């Protein structure tokens, strides 16, 4: 199967109801949150396994079709709060 471009990944996942953009993918790759797919001639080439890992990450971060994710603890001056990328769960 031929490698898939980042723009094709975004189009596919948006069509499946995921909240993802090229900028968000760049962020998770730059911050080391997601292991990057292979590069060829300076471009990312996504395999199905890479897309599955991205899909799982998006679901955990509340960017899946149902908008639910696993809350992440955040320590602030007022205590520990459980936050998600979409809203705040206390």
Checking phi first, is residue 89 left (phi over 0); if not, alpha (psi -120 to 50) or beta? beta
Q: What are phi and psi of 40, to 5 degrees?
A: -140, 120
What's the CA gap between 18 and 16, in Å, rounded?
6
Domain ranges of the chain: 6-89
> 68 vs 31, 60, 61, 71, CA distance in Å?
22, 8, 8, 9
Q: What are phi and psi of 15, to 5 degrees?
A: -65, -25
Q: What is the DSSP letter of 35?
A: -
Q: What is the pLDDT along the chain (90 residues), one digit of tens a residue?
A: 677 999 999 999 999 999 999 999 999 999 999 999 999 888 999 999 999 999 999 999 999 998 776 555 555 666 655 555 444 333
């Amino acid at each position: 199967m031929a490698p898939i471009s980042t723009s094709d990944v975004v189009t596919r996942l948006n069509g499946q109801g995921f909240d993802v953009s090229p900028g968000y993918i760049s962020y998770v790759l730059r911050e080391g949150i997601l292991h990057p797919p292979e590069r060829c001639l300076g471009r990312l080439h996504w395999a199905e396994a890479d897309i599955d890992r991205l899909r799982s990450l998006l679901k955990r971060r509340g960017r899946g079709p149902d908008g639910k994710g696993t809350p992440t603890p955040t320590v602030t001056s007022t205590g520990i709060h459980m936050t998600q990328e979409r809203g705040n769960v206390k």
